[in-house]
Every structure is written in C-alpha cells, then in structure tokens.
Amino acid sequence: MEGKKTREEVEKSGMIDTWMRKHRLIYSGATKHPFILSIRDGTVDLEAFKTWLGQDYIFVRAFAPFVASVLIKAWKESDDSSDMEVILSGMASLNDEIAWFKSEAAKWGVQLSEVVPQKANQDYCRFLESLMSPDVEYTVAMTAFWAIEAVYQASFALCLEDGSKTPAELTETCRRWGNDGFGQYCNSLQKIANRRLGKTPDDVLSKAEVTLLRVLEHEVEFWNMSHGSA
Ligand SMILES: Cc1ncc(CN)c(N)n1
C-alpha cells in the first residue's frame, strides 16, 4: 500500500493532482454528470440544454467580476508577474463567451432577459461573491478559479472524444470549453494554483481545499438544474 506522502513530496507532484485523486468521486460527479453524459450519448433533452444555456449566461455575468477580483489579488499578492497575463486572457475569453451566449440564445429562441436565476445558480453566484472579498487569499481564489474552468473543460472535452454521439447542433458548445486551447489555459491556471499552494501555510492550504470541494459541489448542483433533482 502507498504510504502517506510528506508535504515536500506532495509539492513536487502538485497539490491539485493530489486533491483530484483524494476527491475523485466528487470530481467525477462534477465532470461526468448525467447531463454531460446525455450530451455525449446523444440523448440530451434539448429543453434541458436551453435551461442550462440561460442559467449559464447569468452565471458567466457573475463569474466575470469574480475573475476581475482574482486579477486584483494577483496584482497585489502574486510573486510572479506573468500570472496577470494568464488571468487577463481568461477575462478576454469571457468577453467572447458573453457574446457567444447571446447569439446562441437567439438561435435556440431563449430570451435571456427573461431568464430567472434558479436557486442553485443564486447560491453559486453568492459563493463567487464571497470569494471576491479582499480577505480571501489569492491562493484560495486562484484554486477556485482553476476548478471552475477545469470542470467545464473536462466535461465538454468528454463530449468530443472518439465514439461520442454528441448531436451536431451541440458540438460548437462542446468545443467552446473542450478545445485544446481552453485545455492549455486550464493547465496554466493549474500551474499557478500549484505554485501558490506549494508555498502556502497550512491554514490557507486547508481553506483552499475546502473551497475546491465547495466549487465541485456547486458545479454538480448547477448541472442538476438542467438534469436531475432540480
Ligand atoms: C457553472 C459554470 N462553471 C464554469 C464555467 C466556465 N467558465 C461556466 N461557464 N459555468
């Protein structure tokens, strides 16, 4: 049996990988949710897809200020000036993402101005807002930022794998987050998070781990709005 790793050993391989192994059940609950699996196997209910589209537009509008708050924390607290460029590139893609949601909603006949945020979405947006507080450490916020992006990347990449039966009208959506460029951007976020986690005090490390788990729970609840126990 594998012995318990020392903190130094964990730092070498990266805290994020360690946590993904430790929390693999909840991680795969978020990345292989029945809603995503229904896209992948072609059985997705298109009404459920429209629900997700409208709700995610509202989420992304709250996510952009969260990313802006991470940018401010990086400017104030980061030990590496290149972090800001990575975060800025994320903000730029959110600008595209918001425009994409508007044109996609028009295609599907979803009136974005009439979408009412459901409870799971409100709870997730409130959680994001709590992470915007200046009291939340950069390392903690960065871990959440990585996790939020990584869940979408892993989920939608699954729908593009060989053998998947994703309906043609949904492949563009899947490519938006499942493409290699988005994957590389997630790797850059992961690298920043790992670097910070490798040199953070134990109390902040614990806060980051709890925050990661909260993100994964919110992601599961978010998918549930469209498919499952809403
Ligand atoms: C709920 C949710 N999580 C993550 C993402 C990716 N930015 C998103 N658009 N929506």
| Residue at token pair 């990449």 | 157
Q: Report how far ligand 1's centroid is from the alpha carbon of 57 (Å).
A: 9
Please, which residues have CB within 8 angstroms of residue 127's CB and are 6 or more apart in sequence?
214, 215, 218
For residue 161, give both structure tokens.
Answer: 């794998």
Check: CB of residue 151 under 8 Å from CB of residue 177: no
Q: Which of 148, 179, 221 to mutate to test the pocket of ligand 1 (most atoms within 8 A of CB)?
A: 148
Going by C-alpha positions, the residue among 227, 90, 97, 92 that lies closest to residue 173 is 97
Per-residue pLDDT tens for 156-192?
Answer: 999 999 999 999 999 999 999 999 999 999 999 999 9
Burial of 141 (0-12, 13-18, 19+ CB in 10 A): buried
ipTM of the complex: 0.98
Check: CB of residue 85 under 8 Å from CB of residue 189: no
Per-residue pLDDT tens for 188-205?
Answer: 999 999 999 999 999 999
For residue 166, give both structure tokens.
Answer: 């994703």
Q: Which of 52, 152, 179, 215 to mutate to test the pocket of ligand 1 (most atoms within 8 A of CB)?
A: 152
Per-residue pLDDT tens for 51-100?
Answer: 999 999 999 999 999 999 999 999 999 999 999 999 999 999 999 999 99
User: Vertex 96, ends 184 and 60: CA angle to 5°?
Assistant: 85
For residue 52, give both structure tokens.
Answer: 């997700």
Going by C-alpha positions, the residue among 124, 168, 174, 127 that lies closest to residue 154 is 174
For residue 51, give both structure tokens.
Answer: 């629900």
3-class DSSP assignment, residue 213: helix
pLDDT of residue 7 exceeding 70, the answer is no
Confidence of residue 227 (pLDDT cuts 50, 70, 90): confident
Please, which residues have CB within 8 angstroms of residue 65's CB and are 6 or more apart in sequence?
128, 132
C-alpha torsion sign, points 103, 108, 112, 117: negative
Helices 202-226 and 24-31 sit at what angle, rounded to 10 degrees? 40
